[in-house]
Structure 1
Amino acid sequence: MSRASPAERDERLDPVRWHRPTRGTTLRLISVAVLLLTAAAVLWFKPATCTPLLTAPGPTASSTGKAAPQSSTQNQARDQTEGKPAARAIPSGSVGVPIRLADPTALSVVRPGNRVDLLRLESDKDRTTPVANAALVLEVTGADDPVLGGLLLALAPEEAKQAIATTGRGFAIVIRPS
Structure 2
Amino acid sequence: MRTRARQRAAAEEDLRPARWPPHWLRRATLLRLAAVGALLAVAAAILWSAEPVSPCAPATASTDGPSPSPSVSPSATLTLPAGTVGVPVRLADPAALTAVRPGARVDLLAVPPAGVQKPGGEPLLLAGRALVLDVLTGDAGEIGAALYLALKPAQAQATIAQPEGSRFAIVVRE
In the alignment, the residues of structure 2 paired with residue 154 and residue 135 of structure 1 have an alpha-carbon distance, to the nearest angstrom, of 6
Seen in structure 2, the aligned counterparts of structure 1 residues 99 and 35 have a Cα distance that, compared at 3 Å, is same
How far is 1:145 from its partner? Answer: 6.6
Cα deviation, 1:98-135, whole Å, max 9, x if unaligned, reads 11111110000111121111111211145422111111
Structure 2 counterpart of 1:76? 61
The 3-state SS of whatever aligns with 1:116 is strand
Structure 1 counterpart of 2:78? 88
Amino acid in structure 2 at the alignment position of 1:2: A
**Structure ranking higher in helix proportion:** 2
Structure 1 counterpart of 2:170? 173
- Is the aligned partner of 1:129 residue 2:124? yes
Within 5 Å, which residues of 2 pair with 1:1-178?
1-3=9-11, 4=14, 6=16, 18-20=24-26, 22=28, 23-38=30-45, 41=48, 46=52, 52-53=58-59, 75-76=60-61, 83=68, 86-124=76-114, 125=117, 126-142=121-137, 148-167=144-163, 168-176=165-173, 178=174
Choose between structure 1 and 2 for higher RCO, CA contacts under 8 A separated by at least 6 residues.
2
Percent identity for Structure 1 against Structure 2: 34
Structure 1 counterpart of 2:6? none
Seen in structure 2, the aligned counterparts of structure 1 residues 115 and 36 have a Cα distance that, compared at 3 Å, is closer
Cα deviation, 1:13-36, whole Å, max 9, x if unaligned, reads xxx964245343133222232145
The 3-state SS of whatever aligns with 2:169 is strand
Q: Give TM-score, length-normalised by structure 2.
A: 0.65
In the alignment, the residues of structure 1 paired with residue 154 and residue 52 of structure 2 have an alpha-carbon distance, to the nearest angstrom, of 42
Query: Quick check: which has more Rg, 1 or 2?
Result: 2
How far is 1:157 from its partner? Answer: 0.6
Number of matched pairs = 145
Cα deviation, 1:67-101, whole Å, max 9, x if unaligned, reads xxxxxxxx535x98xx5684322111111111111
Q: Which runs of 5+ in 1 are unaligned?
A: 11-15, 54-74
Q: Which runs of 5+ in 2 are unaligned?
A: 1-8, 70-74
**Structure ranking higher in strand proportion:** 1
In the alignment, the residues of structure 1 paired with residue 159 and residue 166 of structure 2 have an alpha-carbon distance, to the nearest angstrom, of 12
The 3-state SS of whatever aligns with 1:89 is coil
How far is 1:169 from its partner? Answer: 3.2
Q: CA RMSD in A?
A: 3.6
Amino acid in structure 2 at the alignment position of 1:52: P
Contact 2:133 2:148 in 1 (8 A): yes
Q: Give TM-score, length-normalised by structure 1.
A: 0.64
Contact 2:107 2:129 in 1 (8 A): yes
